Amino acid sequence: MISEHPLYKGLGDDLQQRYKNYQKIFDKLDIAKEENLITEATMRGEAYGTSGFHQKISQLVSRSTKLAAHGGDRKSEVYKGKAG
């Protein structure tokens, strides 16, 4: 038997009101934007999510879930001036 989740029941007093309010949640989301962000993160080899999500996933897989910045350009004069 399938039953409605308490959070869903909290969206309204009757089935029609809950349905309309549930639909409004998705109307507010920019699905195309989220889809693009997920795709970009995937192409970079990163996980997509909040910093808390990254921390949890990093602990589970024992590696970073975001790409780090690379080292400086050791040939440039600007880098040589800062480094040495």
Q: Is the pLDDT of residue 66 over 90?
A: no
b/e for 40-58, b at 16 or more Cβ within 10 A? ebeeeeebeeeeeebeeee
Q: To 10 degrees, the CA torsion angle through 70, 76, 79, 81?
A: 170
Tell me, what's the pLDDT at 30? 84
Higher-confidence residue of 66 and 5: namely 5
How far out from the chain centre does Cα 27 lie? 19
Q: What is the pTM of this model?
A: 0.49
Q: What is the mean predicted confidence (pLDDT) over 25-45? A: 89
Mean pLDDT estimate for the chain: 86
Other CB atoms within 10 Å distance of the CB of residue 70:
6
Tell me, what's the pLDDT at 65? 84
C-alpha distances in Å from residue 71, one per residue of 59, 65, 80:
25, 18, 13
Higher-confidence residue of 16 and 71: namely 16
